[in-house]
């Protein structure tokens, strides 16, 4: 866009953007509703953390007897609490990544895995398992040095490959198409590695369905640091997402350096998604559904949407993790199955409701 075009378009577009921002930001009803939603999500988080510490294969006896039983204390403190907190943090990372992706690509169907990070993480894990095996000794080594790192590096490498194919971050449509291509190709490579190494099929299935069963305190610390960095950076870039919501021409007329700022947001998206996937595997629909749930309750700008989507994603994943442990206790379901059923059901209902509303217009 030339400087002449910017100067001609800047005045009316700046006035439109400012007017839109004022309507959203200073709506008293929306502000009150957002505050109530934050309070409700925080309260739900606290309640679910307590329930998550109480639910497990040994029932509620562990938390009741933890004061006088060393084994019960070990179960609650070393297994249930880090698992529940890890589910909260992974859900928060995915919810944040979903809000960034939908704002960055101006597409309500965008999810954190859009740039190929899920396929890259899967390929990284499959290659690590194929090289080092899945015996207890090899798995121990891999857990310490390899599997988590392989998943994270695979996710980041997939995003970098998408950027390379898209020739940068200037064109949103090219980014989307490159992400689809990278996802399909890396997914096919993952299937090829799994088929040529049948001994890893069961372990890969667990990764593909997602699980929080192996999350420990170290993983919680890693996810907490990544979440803090991602949320702070994304919140500082909230005005970019607000500008993009009005269109790229308007965002440019507002003086935003879109290529550089879009690159920062993609780095944040890759960090949040890669960290969550590396610790919990591929958990579907949390990042896609969380921003939709927030928007169905409150109309807010991206500063509030980022925080609320993080809290919503955290609540969704902890609730799904509790259900996964409780429904078939003492056995448990993969948490990714629960999120896919609940998230997919919600999105189908949302589409049905919107189509019904459009038919009356």
Distance, CA of 331 to CA of 327 (rounded, Å): 8
Query: Which strand (E) or helix (H) includes residue 12?
Result: helix 3-25
Confidence (pTM): 0.82
Residue-wise pLDDT for 305-348, tens only, equals: 999 999 999 999 999 999 888 877 777 888 888 888 887 777 77
Distance of CA 261 to the CA centre of its chain: 20
Domains and CATH numbers, the chain: 3-359 (1.10.3470.10)
Inter-residue contact 86 to 279 (CB < 8 Å): yes
Residue-wise pLDDT for 97-139, tens only, equals: 999 999 888 888 888 888 888 899 889 888 888 887 654 444 4
> Residue 350 — very low, low, confident or very high, per pLDDT cuts 50/70/90?
confident
Inter-residue contact 76 to 53 (CB < 8 Å): yes
CA angle 281, 292, 345 (to 5 degrees): 70
Inter-residue contact 169 to 109 (CB < 8 Å): no
Rounded mean pLDDT of the chain?
Answer: 79
| 3-class secondary structure, 219 | helix
Distance, CA of 209 to CA of 333 (rounded, Å): 10
Nearest to 223 by CA among 271, 275, 265: 275
Residue 64: pLDDT above 50?
no
């Amino acid at each position: 866009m030339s400087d002449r075009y910017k100067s001609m378009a800047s005045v009316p577009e700046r006035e439109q953007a400012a007017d839109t921002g004022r309507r959203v930001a200073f709506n008293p009803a929306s502000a009150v509703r957002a505050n109530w939603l934050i309070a409700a999500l925080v309260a739900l988080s606290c309640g679910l953390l307590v329930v998550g510490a109480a639910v497990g294969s040994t029932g509620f006896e562990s938390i009741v007897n933890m004061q006088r039983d060393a084994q019960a204390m070990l179960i609650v403190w070393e297994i249930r609490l880090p698992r529940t907190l890890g589910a909260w943090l992974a859900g928060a990372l995915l919810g944040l990544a979903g809000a960034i992706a939908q704002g960055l690509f101006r597409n309500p169907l965008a999810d954190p895995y859009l740039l190929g990070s899920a396929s890259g993480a899967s390929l990284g894990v499959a290659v690590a398992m194929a090289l080092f095996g899945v015996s207890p000794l090899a798995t121990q080594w891999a857990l310490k040095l390899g599997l988590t790192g392989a998943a994270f590096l695979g996710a980041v490498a997939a995003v970098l490959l998408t950027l390379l194919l898209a020739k940068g971050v200037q064109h949103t449509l090219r980014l989307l198409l490159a992400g689809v291509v990278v996802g399909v190709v890396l997914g096919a490579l993952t299937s090829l590695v799994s088929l040529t190494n049948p001994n890893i099929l069961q372990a890969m299935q667990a990764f593909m369905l997602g699980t929080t069963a192996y999350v420990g305190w170290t993983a919680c610390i890693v996810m907490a640091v990544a979440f803090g960095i991602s949320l702070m950076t994304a919140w500082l870039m909230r005005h970019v997402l607000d500008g993009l919501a009005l269109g790229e021409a308007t965002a440019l007329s507002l003086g935003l350096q879109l290529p550089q700022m879009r690159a920062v947001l993609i780095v944040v998206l890759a960090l949040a998604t890669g960290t969550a996937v590396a610790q919990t595997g591929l958990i579907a629909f949390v990042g896609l559904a969380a921003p939709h749930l927030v928007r169905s309750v409150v109309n807010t700008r991206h500063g509030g949407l980022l925080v609320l989507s993080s809290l919503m994603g955290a609540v969704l994943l902890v609730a799904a993790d509790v259900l996964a442990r409780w429904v078939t206790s003492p056995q448990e379901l993969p948490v990714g199955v629960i999120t896919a059923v609940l998230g997919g059901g919600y999105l189908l209902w949302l589409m049905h409701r919107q189509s019904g509303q459009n038919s009356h217009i």
